């Protein structure tokens, strides 16, 4: 009888300890999943945003490069300077194609990690960049206004991405996640 009095509390204590460990592990696993999900979304959205900005910049550089040879010819530049300007167009065009490809890939990846609304927004911005590039290529005078509109779309995209990540901006404080209070 004395043995039972010693063993039963020990078994109950061990069972409670195991139950506590199980609950802790379950909680930690859920928290780890949430952190991995946040990190994935953050990384994908960072890449998409960077690609958007880089592609917009590539459009600006390409447009400027396209107008340089004509400007040089009209200003009496040497043949070598004009030839270099034509080579610069080829380099700018290659850079634009690279940035556009990266953007397309990053947006495709985003479809796996972010909401459909945010993903569709990124697709719409990519199309707006293409439209601005086409207008610049056709030398439409409104291409710079269109590009300014695209930059505004990127700002809105960034704000929506912050909301999706749960990041809030409080005046005078650094960004932080809402759950980190």
Choosing among 1.20.58, 2.90.10, 1.25.40, 1.20.120, the CATH entry for 2-180 is: 1.20.120
How does residue 135 score in pLDDT terms, banded at 50, 70 and 90? very high
Report long-range pairs for 66-74 (Cβ below 8 Å, ≥24 apart): 66/92, 66/136, 66/137
Please compute Rg for the chain using Cα positions: 28
How far is 52 from 58, CA to CA, in rounded Å?
10
Per the model's pLDDT, the better-predicted residue between 175 and 164 turns out to be: 164
| Contact present, 64 and 47 (Cβ < 8 Å) | no
Mean pLDDT of the region 164-169: 83
Per the model's pLDDT, the better-predicted residue between 148 and 69 turns out to be: 148
Mean pLDDT of the region 156-176: 78
**Would the pLDDT of 124 be above 90?**
yes
Where do the structural domains in the chain lie, given as residue ranges? 2-180
Mean pLDDT of the region 101-110: 97
Give per-residue pLDDT as tens, 50-100: 999 999 999 999 999 998 988 888 888 898 998 999 999 999 999 999 999
Prediction pTM value: 0.77
Per the model's pLDDT, the better-predicted residue between 11 and 118 turns out to be: 118
Per the model's pLDDT, the better-predicted residue between 150 and 3 turns out to be: 150
Residues 6+ away with beta carbon under 8 Å from 110? 44, 45, 48, 118, 119, 122
| Contact present, 100 and 108 (Cβ < 8 Å) | no
How does residue 111 score in pLDDT terms, banded at 50, 70 and 90? very high
**Would the pLDDT of 155 be above 80?**
yes
> If DSSP states are collapsed to H, E and C, what string results for 76-87?
CCCHHHHHHHHH
């Amino acid at each position: 009888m004395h043995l039972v009095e010693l063993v039963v509390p020990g078994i109950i204590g061990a069972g409670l300890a195991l139950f506590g460990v199980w609950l802790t592990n379950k909680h930690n696993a859920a928290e780890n999943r949430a952190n991995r999900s946040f990190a994935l979304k953050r990384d994908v959205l960072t890449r998409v945003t960077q690609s958007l900005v880089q592609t917009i910049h590539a459009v600006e550089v390409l447009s400027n490069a396209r107008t340089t040879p004509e400007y040089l010819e009209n200003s009496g530049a040497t043949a070598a300077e004009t030839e270099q300007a034509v080579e610069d167009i080829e380099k700018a065009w290659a850079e634009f194609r690279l940035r556009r490809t990266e953007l397309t890939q990053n947006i495709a990846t985003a479809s796996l990690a972010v909401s459909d609304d945010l993903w569709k927004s990124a697709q719409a911005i990519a199309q707006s960049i293409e439209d601005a590039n086409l207008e610049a290529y056709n030398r439409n005078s409104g291409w710079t206004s269109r590009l300014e509109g695209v930059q505004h779309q990127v700002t809105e995209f960034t704000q929506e991405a912050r909301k999706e990540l749960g990041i809030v901006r409080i005046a005078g404080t650094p960004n932080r996640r809402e759950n980190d209070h």
